[in-house]
Amino acid sequence: MRFLSDNTGTVAPEILDALTEANHGLVTAYGSDPWTQRLDDCLSAYFGTAVRAFAVATGTAANSLSLATLTPSYGLIFAHEEAHIANDEAGAPGFFTGGAQLSLLQSPDGKLTRDVLATALDTQRVSVHTLQPKALALSQATELGTSYRPDELRGLCTLAHEHGLKVQMDGARFANSVAFLDCHPGDVTWRAGVDVMTFGATKNGALAAEAVVIFDRRLAAEFGFRRKRAGHLFSKMRFLSAQLDAYLADDLWLKNARHANAMARRLGEGLARIPGVSLAHPVEANEVFVGLPEAALRGLAGDGFQFHPWQAEDRLLARLVTAFNTREADVDAFIASARRHAGAAKERVA
Amino acid sequence: MRFLSDNTGTVAPEILDALTEANHGLVTAYGSDPWTQRLDDCLSAYFGTAVRAFAVATGTAANSLSLATLTPSYGLIFAHEEAHIANDEAGAPGFFTGGAQLSLLQSPDGKLTRDVLATALDTQRVSVHTLQPKALALSQATELGTSYRPDELRGLCTLAHEHGLKVQMDGARFANSVAFLDCHPGDVTWRAGVDVMTFGATKNGALAAEAVVIFDRRLAAEFGFRRKRAGHLFSKMRFLSAQLDAYLADDLWLKNARHANAMARRLGEGLARIPGVSLAHPVEANEVFVGLPEAALRGLAGDGFQFHPWQAEDRLLARLVTAFNTREADVDAFIASARRHAGAAKERVA
Amino acid sequence: MRFLSDNTGTVAPEILDALTEANHGLVTAYGSDPWTQRLDDCLSAYFGTAVRAFAVATGTAANSLSLATLTPSYGLIFAHEEAHIANDEAGAPGFFTGGAQLSLLQSPDGKLTRDVLATALDTQRVSVHTLQPKALALSQATELGTSYRPDELRGLCTLAHEHGLKVQMDGARFANSVAFLDCHPGDVTWRAGVDVMTFGATKNGALAAEAVVIFDRRLAAEFGFRRKRAGHLFSKMRFLSAQLDAYLADDLWLKNARHANAMARRLGEGLARIPGVSLAHPVEANEVFVGLPEAALRGLAGDGFQFHPWQAEDRLLARLVTAFNTREADVDAFIASARRHAGAAKERVA
Amino acid sequence: MRFLSDNTGTVAPEILDALTEANHGLVTAYGSDPWTQRLDDCLSAYFGTAVRAFAVATGTAANSLSLATLTPSYGLIFAHEEAHIANDEAGAPGFFTGGAQLSLLQSPDGKLTRDVLATALDTQRVSVHTLQPKALALSQATELGTSYRPDELRGLCTLAHEHGLKVQMDGARFANSVAFLDCHPGDVTWRAGVDVMTFGATKNGALAAEAVVIFDRRLAAEFGFRRKRAGHLFSKMRFLSAQLDAYLADDLWLKNARHANAMARRLGEGLARIPGVSLAHPVEANEVFVGLPEAALRGLAGDGFQFHPWQAEDRLLARLVTAFNTREADVDAFIASARRHAGAAKERVA
């Protein structure tokens, strides 16, 4: 009964099976195996354009290696103040780039807007005494469970490019956004102007696998050098690539994301109907941020539900994350428990 | 019929089973799972002393993170000129430390000697204009398939410590050395003076798992920060730890290493009996370096055998690596093919 | 008639004379000369405690090298949001440390308070997923021309030390604060708990010379390595040290600072008496931040006065900086011009 | 009577005068002063092509900043094993680049040859597991006091460019080479293919001033960012630029270099005539490397002469460095003393 995160769960059976299936025969190490060899093709087909794809095992590696490929050590990277790279990766972008920094921007629901970026670009003092603006980092889905629409991304990327910035996208929950938007993966990436993205699988059923997808293929060689040098090139690479292979095969990515999204939507709708309970952000992926009386939060915890408290500017929220294997019964139990505890809290107030 | 490397192979069935077994239930991410929680205890029991152990997925990560914990950016690291960190990790130690450098030493059979280190320490110019000696990096087994004896290590570590150096050990093939020496793992690590080591499992049957074992436990917190910051902390950490768990359980590490070593020994002995063929180094782990007429090398390749050519100072060798699942029949076939081609080469010369 | 900065000016004649005097004879390079050899003694006498002192040529070098000696690459450094290291050094702390970051705090008049720091330390999320708090960076005088009192510094340093932070002080305008406070230099440094400071001379009459003063002398060797490695060890070091020597001799530092401070005070008092004109911060060193009607700012510029506009949160200020050689007549001319233009602006409004 | 180094000496009077002359009036800080503004023009005229020039204060800064502009963190830099960047700059290239490394090559007299570089490029293993060759670093004059001829440089640069390497030149003693070769400065730099060079003045009479000269002007902006970020942009920049201005004016650079060279030649010729004494390298700048009996070395030291012992592969040499202000009488006294002590040493042997 955990809604802590989508990285606390198990591996999707299809992906575990793929590991077993890959476990025969001798192949050349470090990527000269059939699974890795077809990775570019698989992801090119997926995105509808020729890409270079590199498998790594963690989201932090994927984000930092791609940012280091896009920005020099003296670079400034614009990002939302809620971004994972800003809050949960121990300063990894600074380590991988040799000291580049983030400029954090505020806007509602975890989504940067063209206006917010425009203001930042206009007011950012730039001289030889400052870092040099070099990249824009976006997350799809965002850290607050919302999703950029294609035209929102196009606006941001166009503005970024006009100012000489490259655009990176953290797609740790990319499948959830595509499932929510019901769009083509290309619509919210290269067609909108994204230069490099991380295509996450771990949170949506893989054991540990993310693909860095390079739309601007001139950057590919450098990325490869950086990956190796940072210890992120696996010798038995087939076991990374096979995960991604299975993740893309038979639209497993979409099936898993749709389920997780459906559970989040059910959770959000159920909670929103409880008097005194409100959602902090629209539910546009597999996360629900909900405001509950503190007594209700304690009550839910007492009932054995697990979730992260989330400190918003003005109130404490509960962050609830669903996954490819979240059960409807657990969602309904959570809602029932919340309703009971919220009601009790209200009575006490009355 | 590949003798290319021990990282081209499959995963030992016991370890794949462990992944399947670990794949149930929700656990907390990033290491608060039962498998990871008992890692310290497992490796403390293994080494016979209280250690801190950190799982990572690649040898380059293990080596570089441990070196970065032992040496500042202005540090000099002594290592054998054949060391993996010097030749096969794309300068990773320089990246992880922020610019520390290696001072490479020569000595036979890939093994540093106390005398060679003593001379290096005596003749190394040290001033504010130079890097500062800070660490000694050893490999057990060495890159040339040899193994340090406990007293050899003690001599090296004592000298290093007397000069204020910390000692790191690359144990990518550690199990093979322990199996060859038939000693206690502690005898060739902490009892000899090693401060931090990487305990490799990937080359001996794991999918992708190495433990960094910290004997000087004051260094543990810093190591943890560095691991996360470099993107080497897994969210679904249980699947790294479960590999190491299975690797240590029922002495799988030893069983696998003994088999690989036996195959290497058989290969070495068989080849050494062929007229005109000679071993370049004693076979003390799972690698054989053998001098063969060039025509014989081509002949073996023509028969479908795969191996790395290895440029020694004066001649071209073949490097043959065995693994936990190398088959006796393949070894014997290789010997027979070598005998045939070496004989033919000899006749041509005559 | 420039009030742009105290680094736009000339070199004090005493310091230029010292260069000429030092220009005879052969001495050993890189600091084995008499001027450098007595630097530790000179600054120990100045501060009233045994220190190690290292000369460098720029404030950015002094700040970044000292911060790199105090904080690891995974460290977090608390500083005021107006700090020079945050806004005017092109991310140098990130470069020198290998990726450490600043956590910027807000408080009035450019001065951190114990409460603000306490709140930051309490609310800063710290885990393996974040940077680790390692240092507090203070400026004396501050970027807004104010000065910490000894007890304010003691409170900040004590709190920092209790939380395991080291304390660095940017003393680019240190002499101005000591002159303003009329205190002993030790009172606002080591006696208050500062671990390492930069003792600036360039802004107060030197050509290019700052001393990094290390109160915690165990850090001295590391600092020396870092200085050389960053290209900040001069071969003809005598010419750096001789500047500092002359700066300390006959209390030149104090004479110069007192004059600059007196000019700033005169400027501030004169401007404050003009109707509609207000000082944004107390004048406690050699800087004046003044709010003037925009038309008056334009008028002053038209009269040939030069100064930096300074964007405060709610209004545009003029920053006026005085120096050791600012002339009273120029100060008075500025005040007269300001009065004239401010009056005109007022009439236009009426 | 010191022949220790050309950086132990005084400042040429013309340069000290230039500092005094520059010491009037207020100018804008950080390079918007007349001296700095004309630096590009001065050095463009000097080299006979349009260049960008950046003043810094030390040779280590000049070398490392220029190398960091030419090579990424994963780059490999080819250099002679005697290069200053390899032996005397505390690993600065690794720090400034974020971990790039040197590949050191051997060849006689401190001069790389096209053949040696060709062999290195051919035999250097390059793959994703290695650093990537990115730059060639040359020194003119070399560390052993020899000078590349224009065609030698053209051969090296052409080969380097064919392999995708950029070429950097350490010109700490550039004036000495140009004086010796009696060529145009362009002949041994951009016309030969050098991309970026450091134009040293400190060893030839400046207080502390080197110009980084960028022939490939697209690299200039990046260089400027890196200089500031490393603390090498001076606020009172006029005093750096004025040194270079005076150094170029009235061919002071050439006058000084010719004198130093003449003294070195006189020293070399005088010593070479002593029986049992031999020069280790041709004297093609302002350094003499001479083999003397050890007793003679001791005798010279006893007579008060100072010089660096220099450990060559097979014997101990004395390194003697002359400067713009070395006196003929001291040279002759050294020769006489050497003759006396060498004669005595010979008699003892007999």
Which residues in chain A (86-115) have CB-CB distances under 8 A to chain C?
Answer: 87-91, 94-95, 97-101
Chain C residues whose beta carbon lies within 8 Å of the beta carbon of residue D8: 26-29, 235-236
Helices (H) and strands (E) in chain A, counts: 14, 11
**pLDDT value, residue D349:** 63
Q: Which of C94, C125, C129 sits opposite A94 (nearest CB)?
A: C94
Taking each helix axis as running N to C, give the angle between helix A13-22 and helix A238-248, from 0 to 180 degrees, rounded to the nearest 10.
140
Residue B349 has pLDDT above 70, yes or no: no
For the purposes of burial, counting CB atoms within 10 Å of the CB of D96, is it exposed (0-12), middle (13-18) or buried (19 or more)?
buried
Task: Give the integer Cα–Cα distance in Å for D281 and D274.
Answer: 16
Q: Residues 6 or more apart from D138 whose CB is under 8 A from it?
A: D79, D80, D112, D148, D153, D156, D167, D168, D169, D170, D194
Across A16-27, average pLDDT: 92
User: What is the least distance, in Å, from the CA of A27 to any CA of chain B?
Assistant: 5
Q: Where in chain C is the domain with CATH 3.90.1150.10?
A: 254-349
Q: How far is C114 from chain D (nearest CA, A)?
A: 30
Q: State mean pLDDT over B42-61.
A: 98
pLDDT for D199 equals 98
Mutation pick from A7, A58, A63, A74 vs chain C, by most beta carbons of C within 10 Å, is A74
Q: Phi/psi of residue D317, each to 5°?
A: -110, 170
For A225-243, what is the mean pLDDT? 97
Q: What superfamily would CATH give domain C254-349? A: Aspartate Aminotransferase, domain 1 (3.90.1150.10)
Helix orientation angle between A252-272 and A238-248, rounded to the nearest 10 degrees: 60
Share of chain B above pLDDT 90, in %: 90
Coil, strand, or helix at residue B346?
helix
Chain B residue numbers touching C229 (CB-CB < 8 A) = 73-74, 99
What amino acid is encoded at B224 in this protein? G
Q: How far is B231 from chain A (nearest CA, A)?
A: 4
At D195, give phi and psi (nearest 5°): -90, -40
Chain D residues with beta carbon closer than 8 angstroms to that of A222: 72, 74
A313 at the C interface (CB within 8 A)? no
Residue A11 has its nearest CB partner, among B23, B59, B228, at B23
pLDDT class of C174 with cuts at 50, 70, 90 = very high
Distance (Å, whole) CA C307 – CA D219: 32
Task: Output the CA–CA distances (angstroms, integers) from residue D296 to D289, D291, D293, D304, D345, in the order listed.
Answer: 14, 10, 5, 13, 6
Q: What is the CA radius of gyration of chain B?
A: 21
- pLDDT at position D238 is 96
* C-alpha distances out from residue A117 to A104, A190, D318, Å: 10, 19, 63
**pTM for the full predicted model:** 0.97
CB A131 within 8 A of CB A100: yes
CB-neighbour burial class of residue C48 (10 A; exposed 0-12, middle 13-18, buried 19+): middle
Contact between residue D105 and residue D117 where contact means Cβ atoms under 8 Å apart = yes
Helix axes C328-349, C294-302, angle to 10 degrees: 140
Q: What is the rounded distance in angstroms from the CA atom of residue C176 to the CA atom of residue C145?
A: 9
Residue of A nearest to C60 (CA): A129
Of D83, D209, D78, which Cα lies nearest the Cα of D144? Answer: D83
Q: Does D210 touch chain C (CB under 8 A)?
A: no
Helix or strand run (H / E) with residue D339: helix D328-349
User: What CATH code is assigned to D12-252?
Assistant: 3.40.640.10
Q: Do D129 and B90 touch (CB under 8 A)?
A: yes
Instruction: Say if the Cβ atoms of D233 and A30 lie within 8 Å.
Output: no
Chain A contact for C129 (CB, 8 A cutoff): yes
Per-residue pLDDT at B56 exceeds 80: yes
Check pLDDT > 90 for residue B69: yes
- Which of chain D's residues have a Cβ under 8 Å away from the Cβ of A228? 128-129
Mean pLDDT to the nearest integer, C198-209: 98
D278 token code pair: 């031999």
CB contact burial D105-136 (16+ within 10 A = b; e otherwise): beeebbbbbbebbeebbeeeeeebbbbbbbbb
Judged against a pLDDT cut of 80, whether residue C349 lies above it is answered with: no
The span from the CA of C53 to the CA of C213, in Å, is 5
Q: For residue range D219-238, what is the model confidence (pLDDT) as tens digits?
A: 999 999 999 999 999 999 99
D239 — contact with chain C (CB < 8 Å)? yes
Q: What is the pLDDT at residue A5?
A: 86
The helix (run of H) or strand (run of E) holding residue D299 is: helix D294-302
Range with the lowest mean pLDDT among A74-83, B2-11, B181-190? B2-11
Q: Mark yes or no for CB contact C128/B98 under 8 Å.
A: no
Residue pairs between chains A and C whose CB atoms are closer than 8 Å: 58
**Mean pLDDT lowest for which of B118-127, C24-33, D60-69, D167-176?**
C24-33
- CA-to-CA distance for D102 and C283, rounded, in angstroms? 52
Q: Cβ contacts (< 8 Å) between C61 and chain D: which residues?
A: 230-232
Question: Which of D4, D91, D202 faces C236 most closely, judged by CB atoms?
Answer: D202
Residue B48, by phi and psi: left (phi above 0), alpha (psi -120 to 50) or beta?
Answer: left
Give the single-character DSSP code of B306. Answer: B
Nearest to A128 among D74, D98, D228 (CB): D228
Can you name the residues that pair with A136 across neighbouring β-strands?
A: A78, A167
Retrieve residue B165's tokens: 């150096």
Strands B75-80 and A316-321, sheet pairing: unpaired
Question: Does C66 lie at the interface with D, CB-CB under 8 angstroms?
Answer: no
Q: Which residues of D touch C24 (CB under 8 A)?
A: 10
| Per-residue model confidence as pLDDT tens digits over B312-326 | 888 889 999 999 999
Q: CA–CA separation, B159 vs B112, rounded Å? A: 12
- Helix segments in chain A, DSSP class H: 13-22, 34-37, 39-47, 59-70, 84-87, 92-97, 114-123, 150-162, 174-181, 220-229, 238-248, 252-272, 294-302, 328-349
| pLDDT beyond 90 at B135 | yes
C128 touches chain B (CB under 8 A): yes
Sequence-ordered list of residues with C-beta below 8 angstroms from that of B257, at least 6 positions apart, any chain: B175, B176, B178, B179, B204, B286, B324
* B98 contacts on C by Cβ (under 8 Å): 73, 98
Q: What is the C-alpha to C-alpha distance for residues B69 and B281, in angstroms, rounded to an integer?
A: 33
Within 8 A by CB and 6+ apart from B333, the residues are: B1
Say whether B232 and A231 touch across the interface (CB within 8 A): yes
Confidence tier at A2 by pLDDT (50, 70, 90): confident
Kind and range of the H or E run holding B77: strand B75-80
| pLDDT score, position A19 | 96
Every domain of chain D with CATH number 3.40.640.10 lies at 12-252
Decide if pLDDT at C160 tops 90. Answer: yes
CB contact under 8 A, D88 and B129: yes
Q: Provide the token pair at B150.
A: 């406990």
Taking a contact as any Cβ pair under 8 Å apart, which residues of chain A between 147 and 206 contact chain D? none
Runs of H (alpha helix) within B163-218: 174-181
CB < 8 Å to D130, chain B: 87-88, 90-91
Of B4, B56, B208, the CB nearest to A236: B208
Give C99's contacts in chain B (Cβ within 8 Å). Answer: 229
Q: What is the Cβ-side half-sphere exposure of residue A206, based on CA atoms within 13 angstroms? A: 31
**Rounded CA gap, D187 and D161, in Å?**
17
Average pLDDT of the residues of chain B: 96
Pair of tokens at residue A1:
């009964």
The alpha-carbon gap from C14 to the nearest alpha carbon of chain D, in Å, equals 12
CB contact at 8 A, B268 and B326: no
Q: What are phi and psi of C133, to 5 degrees?
A: -55, 125
Is the Cβ of D56 closer than 8 Å to some Cβ of chain C?
A: yes
Pick the closest to residue D57 from C243, B302, A144 (CA basis).
C243
pLDDT, residue A350, reads 60
Reduced to 3 states, what is the DSSP secondary structure of residue A286? coil
**Nearest residue, CB atoms, A74 vs list D73, D226, D233:** D226
Contact predicate D227/D78, CB 8 Å? no
From the number of C-beta atoms within 10 Å of its C-beta (0-12, 13-18, 19+), residue A151 rates as: exposed
Within 8 A of B94 by CB-CB distance, chain D residues are 94, 99-101
What is the pLDDT, as a whole number, of residue C350?
60
Candidates A88, A94, A131; nearest CB to C90:
A131
Whether residue C185 contacts residue C46, with contact meaning beta carbons closer than 8 Å, is answered with yes
Does C124 lie at the interface with A, CB-CB under 8 angstroms? no
Residue D65: which of D168, D174, D154, D163 has the closest Cα?
Answer: D168
pLDDT digits (tens, 9 = 90+) for B147-177: 999 999 999 999 999 999 999 999 999 999 9
- Give B7's contacts in chain D (Cβ within 8 Å): none
Inter-chain CB proximity C129 and B30 less than 8 Å = yes
Task: For residue D61, give the nearest of C65, C80, A193 by alpha carbon.
Answer: C65
pLDDT at B118 over 80: yes
Q: Which residues of chain B make contact with D128, given a CB cutoff of 8 A?
A: 90
Q: Which residues of A touch C122 (CB under 8 A)?
A: none
Check pLDDT > 80 for residue D114. yes
Q: Flag whether residue A119 sits within 8 Å of chain C, measured between CB atoms.
A: no
Strands (E), D95-209: 101-105, 132-139, 166-171, 196-200
B231: nearest CB among A28, A92, A225: A92
Question: CA of A350 to nearest chain B CA: how many angstroms apart?
Answer: 38
> What pLDDT, on a 0 to 100 scale, did the predictor assign at position C7?
85
| Of residues C14, C13, C19, C16, the one with CA closest to residue C237 | C19
Query: What tens digit of pLDDT does each residue of C267-301 get?
Result: 999 999 999 899 999 999 999 999 999 899 999 99
pLDDT (mean) for C142-162: 98
Confidence of residue D110 (pLDDT cuts 50, 70, 90): very high
Q: What is the mean pLDDT of residues A39-47?
A: 98
Angle C201-C204-C208 from CA coordinates, rounded to 5°:
45
pLDDT tens-place string over residues B257-313: 999 999 999 999 999 999 989 999 999 999 999 999 989 999 999 999 999 999 888
Report in angstroms the alpha-carbon separations of A320 from A6, A283, A329, A335, C198: 10, 11, 15, 12, 49
